Amino acid sequence: MLGANAAGGAVIGLARTFDTDIGAGDPGYGLLFGTVFCGIAGGMLYGPRLVPDFSRRRLFGLSISAAGVSLVVLALIPNMVIAALVTFVIGAWAGIAWVTGYTLLGLEVADDVRGRTFAFVQTMVRVTLVLVLAVSPLLAAAFGKHEIELTDAMSLTYNGAAITMLLAGVLATALGFASYRHMDDRRGIPLVPDLASAYRNEPVGLRRGDPGGGYFVAIEGGEGAGKSTQVELLAQWLRDQRHDVLVTFEPGATDVGRRLRSVLLDRHDDEPTPLSPRAEALLFAADRAEHVTNVVVPALAAGSIVITDRYIDSSLAYQGSGRALDESEILRLSRWATDGLRPDITVLLDLPAADGLRRVQTPDRLESEPVEFHERVRERYLELARRGGHRYLVVDATRSPDAVAEEIRSRLSPLLPTSRAELAEREAAAAAAEEQARREQQDRERLEQEARAAREQEEATARAARDQAAAEERARRQQAKEAEQARRDAERAARQSAAAEEKERRRLAAEAAAAAAAEQRAKQALEDAERRAAAGRHRAESSDPASRRPADTGRSPAGDDPPTRPLSLTDELFGLGDEADETVQLPRVRDRGEDR
């Protein structure tokens, strides 16, 4: 504990120099100071809770070493950000070491010296802290600054603070390692699997064929505590719940065990030397090895609930305390004998030793021990239960057997595994549910299929109706189109015939006009002809010689030609007709075909 304290003190004492050297100034110092204490608080609060079943003795040495290694890392990496993180880790490990150390002190130091031990530790903690705070800066100054050339371009500068921290870290690591070796109560069990299984909350070395199956209950207690009665009541209750239960006991549950039991418990008053405490411890361990190998483990592997009347704690209480053997050695012996098999729960029936002894009728060798021996046994049992935490149930055995049994039942019922009968029932129920689900699924599928078929049918009908409607629509449109075409044709025909009639009407009008004009012209021609005839007559009447003298004619004296007149259009059209029956040629009327 003092080593862990010194490691934390070194950080605090050197933080000022350290952070000045890496150029972090006052804020850096504040940060380091803060992180180390946050780490300590976090470690104290959560560290042991992470591994509730891990050996506290192991955890203690481990955490001191881990704090030391972290301190070395801090010393080697002079970077403020990393320093802040590593300082937190150092604090956490120191916190774990501190709280574990205190727990161990409380558990392992005998009552009569516990107060003095605590006072001593408290005092030494303060003395160490003051010493470290005073000495570490001096050491740092003495070491001074050192530069390590890595390459031409790169060098590492370590100042006194870093070097002192490095040394403190190495020292703490070594101290932790030494504590671990010295205090280890689980020798032979490798650290990492032990830590991992403690984190997962399962005991190391527990051999079970079916991990989910069996459950191991140990009933412990002093003489006359009523263990046998409670074992039977518990077994009956469990059987009522359809669990497979195996009731067993120590010592003497096997063939070899029976012989060992006789050696251990029968009174051999005639023998001059009593059984030595170590031999007694070894014989109980031997009986336990037989018991675990041949009775307990096979039953657990088969998924039974095993209730044993006495187990390792009996040895710890009777041989460890009653016989004043080293408890850790007895524990190691039993662990080895059982290959680490621990009960899932230990029920401790507690009652004053004197009360228990009064219930014993024919005392055996151990029951014949004085009441102080049994009082020590009781105290050790209670201490084991305190240390074991949630793996123990302490029941006041001075009450009636029924009250005790009721308390045991209520505590155990949430912890027990499911019985095989119940498992089988559940399996059957699950299978039935599966079958039901399968049937329902089939029904659903069938219904879906039917629904799909009906939908398809409906769709087909709808499609057919749509097609028919579309065909009808097309036909209707076609008819409408044809009707429209017919209407247009009729209109066109009507227009054409109207135009032809109009044309005919105009042609007739034109013919009528032409006929009128021809008639007019004919009348004119007639008139002209009449006029010319009149003029001819006139000329004939006036053709006497006097009147035909050349001088009078005004014309060429050489000829007698009639006088000329200008040629009229009528002359051109109808010719110069002196004749009376001139024929007038009328313009020819073109027929309809030619006109078109």
Which residues contribute to the site for ligand TYD (CB under 6 A)?
223, 227-228, 250-251, 265, 284, 309-310, 314-315, 318-319, 364, 366-367
Beta carbon nearer to ligand TYD, 194 or 250:
250
DSSP state of 364: -
> By C-beta, is 185 or 244 nearer to ligand TYD?
185
Nearest-approach distance from CB 168 to ligand TYD, in angstroms? 45
Q: How far is the CB of 367 from ligand TYD (least distance, A)?
A: 6
Answer for the pair 251, 218: CB distance below 8 angstroms, yes or no. Answer: no
Q: Shortest gap between Cβ of 275 and ligand TYD (angstroms)?
A: 11
Cβ proximity to ligand TYD: between 359 and 537 the closer is 359
Q: With respect to ligand TYD, which residue has the nearer C-beta, 4 or 349?
A: 349
Beta carbon nearer to ligand TYD, 70 or 248: 248
Residue 372 CB, nearest approach to ligand TYD (Å): 15
Could you give the CA distance from residue 349 to residue 404 in angstroms, rounded to a whole number? 8
The token pair that represents 335 in the structure block: 């662990």
Q: Kindly list the distances between the CA atom of residue 393 and the CA atoms of 140, 387, 396, in Å, as whole numbers in the listed order.
A: 54, 12, 10
Closest approach of ligand TYD to the CB of residue 108, in Å: 21
Using only C-alpha atoms, what is the Rg of the chain?
67
Spatial distance between the Cα atoms of 436 and 54, rounded to a whole number of angstroms: 48
One-character DSSP codes across 461-520 = HHHHHHHHHHHHHHHHHHHHHHHHHHHHHHHHHHHHHHHHHHHHHHHHHHHHHHHHHHHH
Q: Where would I find the beta strands (DSSP E) of 313-391?
A: 345-350
Strand partners, 394: 348
Question: Which are the contacts of 585, defined by CB distance < 8 A and separation ≥ 6?
Answer: 573, 574
Closest CA to 234 of 412, 355, 44, 112: 412
C-alpha to C-alpha distance for 318 and 385, rounded to whole angstroms = 15
Closest CB to ligand TYD among 315 and 346? 315
**Nearest approach, Cβ of residue 292 and ligand TYD (Å):** 12
SS3 category, 309: strand
Residue at 98: amino acid letter: W
Give the nearer residue to ligand TYD in terms of CB position, either 265 or 382: 265
Contact 308, 290 (CB under 8 A): no
Which residue, among 427, 231, 207, 392, has the nearest Cα to 299 in the 3D structure? 207
Reduced to 3 states (helix: H, G, I; strand: E, B; else coil), residue 159 is coil
* Nearest distance in Å: CB 135, ligand TYD: 50
Q: Find the residue with minimal CB distance to ligand TYD.
A: 318
Q: Which CB sits closer to ligand TYD, 11 or 385?
A: 385
Q: Which is nearer to ligand TYD, 227 or 376 (CB)?
A: 227
Rounded least distance, CB 307 to ligand TYD, Å: 13
Q: How far is the CB of 252 from ligand TYD (least distance, A)?
A: 7
The smaller minimum CB distance to ligand TYD, of residues 161 and 312, is found at: 312
Do the beta carbons of residue 172 and residue 3 sit within 8 Å?
A: yes
The token pair that represents 225 in the structure block: 């505590």
Q: Are 339 and 290 in contact (CB under 8 A)?
A: no
Supply the minimum distance, in Å, between the C-beta of residue 280 and ligand TYD.
Answer: 7
Give, for 327, the enclosing helix (H) or strand (E).
Answer: helix 327-338
